[in-house]
């Protein structure tokens, strides 16, 4: 299973033709004839294998990285996350950990222009789905997870070509995120002055 996120709402999300923006490897898998792509209009995934349909179904109803989403299903079945040449600011499973911990900022809009709904093409039928409050937030501070994950021996390092990679149990990422947020609820909010999401979250808290 790979992320095939297109990140923003287009006029119509077509799982067969709307390109993902998460790299060539993800796009190559998405285009395979045996691949199944979920119908979330901004944060879809594509999967192959016997469980592909089960992993991807009803993603547009559960939210991008929420309980019951494809990443949640993967974690519950003992799946692993591979960070291929990227660090934890690209580790979307941390957003799922936020969903379990339920910090006060969960569901805040990522930008002031976030849409509340989107149109998707579902097996030849166009329908509208609600996405308000179901998107993921900022991830610029997510590298804070690396040290505690390493402390607990949860990261296996390896290389693919020149790319530094990490293999981590998805469940360990969720548990680590949950634990950090219980200790410090704003630990995953960045300090970048131009970040609408994190600055708005802090203002709301104070």
User: What's the pLDDT at 78?
Assistant: 97
Q: Which residues pair with 158 in a beta bridge?
A: 165
Decide if pLDDT at 10 tops 90.
Answer: no
pLDDT digits (tens, 9 = 90+) for 154-173: 999 999 999 999 999 999 99
User: What's the pLDDT at 114?
Assistant: 86
Decide if pLDDT at 135 tops 80.
Answer: no
User: What's the pLDDT at 113?
Assistant: 86
* Contact predicate 65/31, CB 8 Å: no
User: What's the pLDDT at 102?
Assistant: 96
User: What's the pLDDT at 115?
Assistant: 87
Confidence tier at 176 by pLDDT (50, 70, 90): very high
pLDDT digits (tens, 9 = 90+) for 45-103: 999 999 999 999 999 999 999 999 999 999 999 999 999 999 999 999 999 999 999 99
Average pLDDT over all residues of the chain: 95
pLDDT digits (tens, 9 = 90+) for 106-132: 999 898 888 899 999 999 999 999 987
User: What's the pLDDT at 41?
Assistant: 96
Decide if pLDDT at 206 tops 90.
Answer: no
A 10 A CB-CB count for 109 gives 16
Query: What mean pLDDT do residues 10-30 have?
Result: 95
Query: What mean pLDDT do residues 31-48 have?
Result: 97
A 10 A CB-CB count for 151 gives 10
Burial environment of residue 13 by CB neighbours within 10 A (0 to 12, 13 to 18, 19 or more): buried
User: What's the pLDDT at 29?
Assistant: 97
* Nearest in space to 99 (alpha carbons), one of 91, 107, 90: 107
Decide if pLDDT at 205 tops 90.
Answer: no
**What does pTM read for this prediction?**
0.94
């Amino acid at each position: 299973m790979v992320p095939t996120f297109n990140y923003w709402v287009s006029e119509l999300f077509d799982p067969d033709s709307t390109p993902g923006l998460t790299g060539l490897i993800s796009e190559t898998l998405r285009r395979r004839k045996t691949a199944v792509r979920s119908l979330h209009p901004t944060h879809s995934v594509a999967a192959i294998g016997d469980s592909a349909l089960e992993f991807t179904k009803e993603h547009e109803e559960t939210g991008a990285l929420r309980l019951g989403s494809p990443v949640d299903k993967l974690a519950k079945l003992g799946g692993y996350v591979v960070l291929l040449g990227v660090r934890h600011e690209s580790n979307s499973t941390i957003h799922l950990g936020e969903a379990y911990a339920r910090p006060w900022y969960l569901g805040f809009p990522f930008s002031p222009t976030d849409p509340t709904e989107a149109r998707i093409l579902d097996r030849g039928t166009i329908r509208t789905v609600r996405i308000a409050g179901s998107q993921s937030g900022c991830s610029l501070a997510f590298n804070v997870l690396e040290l505690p994950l390493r402390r607990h021996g949860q990261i296996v390092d390896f290389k693919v070509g020149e790319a530094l990679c990490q293999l981590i149990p998805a469940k360990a990422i969720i548990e680590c995120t949950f634990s950090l947020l219980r200790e410090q609820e704003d630990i995953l909010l960045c300090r970048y002055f131009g970040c609408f999401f994190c600055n708005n979250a802090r203002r709301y808290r104070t």
